[in-house]
């Protein structure tokens, strides 16, 4: 036997053994089936590969592991994609990263732009690095989720200390280096697309977190890198309570003005109709009374 042919037989034999043991099949359509094959699955032959799991007749819970999957008993389910659950056919995608999940895209040569991320170092948050658009946004606010409920003690006086600002966000990818040298037609088209799709930053309105923290520390959080984030929605109850406080002050002034004869009807005091002149008169009266005129 030719000695040069012998290694080829060994390779072929090992491939056949591995294929049979791993239950890898390639059908007549060129599709790859791993760990089984369900008759009638993918009738239009749209999938190039199917990975089945061991779960009964449904062959559910197949998983793809990337890199070091690790030992499960040592909390070692590191990185994989599969079906949510361990013993049923849930039809739910399970995207698992033990220490985090990052969504990225290419923002230039050798520079991945993060769309959103979860990091185990901050297990209570998912960060988006772009504006999020949605048809609605609801927060859990049921009383059964809460404890230590207390009235807001900082209202109008604290709100008056805030300074709103306009600003633009820094564009960290504005000057991404583009590689030099021979580029294929596709590479040139990709670079042109990336260059044209870079975000043109808009003028925004808001607060500086460091300033807000001095007045409403409850509305500012700091991440592990020291960057601060503002809970703008948390300002809504402060605004509501401030409006109520201001309205109470107006009511008191109106009642005081009514006693002095500046208002003619109880109807106006109850705000069943607008009377701007009466309110202005009440404020003027209060000021004159204060300075003794």
Can you read off the two tokens belonging to residue 39? 């008759």
Domain boundaries of the chain, sorted by first residue: 6-90, 237-291
pTM: 0.65
The burial class, CB within 10 Å (0-12 / 13-18 / 19+), for 216 is buried
Note the helical H segments in 48-159.
156-159
Decide if 224 contacts 121 (C-beta within 8 A).
yes
DSSP type of residue 88? S
pLDDT value, residue 58: 85
Backbone phi and psi for residue 240, each to the nearest 5 degrees, phi listed first: -60, -50
Can you read off the two tokens belonging to residue 193? 């697309």
Angle at 228 between CA 221 and CA 214, to 5 degrees: 75
Tally the C-alpha atoms within 13 A of residue 148's C-alpha that lie toward its C-beta: 0
pLDDT value, residue 291: 43
DSSP type of residue 60? B
pLDDT value, residue 169: 86
Enumerate residues 6+ apart whose C-beta is below 8 A from 131.
none
Over its length of 293 residues, how does the chain's per-residue pLDDT go in tens digits? 555 555 565 655 555 555 555 588 888 888 898 888 887 888 888 889 888 888 888 888 888 887 777 776 777 788 889 888 877 888 899 999 989 999 988 765 556 788 999 999 898 899 998 889 999 989 899 999 999 999 998 789 999 999 999 999 887 655 556 666 788 888 777 777 766 666 677 899 999 999 999 999 999 999 989 999 999 999 999 999 999 999 999 999 888 888 877 765 555 545 544 555 655 665 565 555 544 54
Residue with tokens 């819970």: 61
């Amino acid at each position: 036997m030719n000695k040069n042919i012998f290694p080829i037989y060994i390779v072929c034999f090992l491939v056949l053994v591995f294929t049979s043991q791993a239950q890898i099949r390639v059908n007549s359509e060129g599709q790859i089936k791993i760990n089984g094959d369900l008759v009638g699955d993918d009738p239009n032959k749209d999938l190039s590969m199917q990975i089945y799991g061991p779960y009964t007749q449904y062959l559910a819970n197949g998983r793809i592991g990337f890199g070091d999957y690790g030992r499960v008993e040592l909390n070692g389910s590191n990185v994989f994609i599969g079906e949510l659950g361990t013993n049923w056919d849930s039809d739910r995608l399970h995207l698992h990263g033990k220490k985090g999940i990052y969504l990225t895209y290419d923002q230039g040569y050798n520079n991945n732009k993060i769309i959103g991320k979860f990091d185990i170092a901050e297990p209570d948050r998912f960060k988006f690095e772009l504006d999020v658009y949605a048809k609605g946004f609801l927060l859990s606010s049921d009383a059964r989720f809460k404890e230590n409920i207390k009235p807001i003690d900082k209202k109008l006086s604290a709100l008056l200390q805030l300074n709103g600002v306009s600003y633009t966000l820094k564009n960290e990818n504005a000057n991404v280096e583009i590689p030099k040298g021979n580029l294929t037609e596709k590479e040139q088209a990709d670079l042109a697309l990336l260059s044209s799709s870079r975000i043109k930053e808009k003028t925004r309105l808001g607060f500086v977190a460091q300033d807000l923290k001095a007045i409403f520390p409850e509305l500012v959080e700091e991440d592990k890198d020291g960057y601060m984030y503002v809970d703008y929605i948390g300002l809504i109850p402060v605004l509501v309570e401030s409006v109520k406080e201001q309205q109470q002050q107006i009511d008191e002034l109106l009642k005081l003005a009514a006693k002095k004869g500046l208002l003619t009807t109880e109807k106006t005091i109850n705000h069943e109709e607008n009377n701007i002149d009466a309110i202005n008169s009440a404020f003027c009266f209060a000021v004159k009374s204060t300075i003794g005129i």
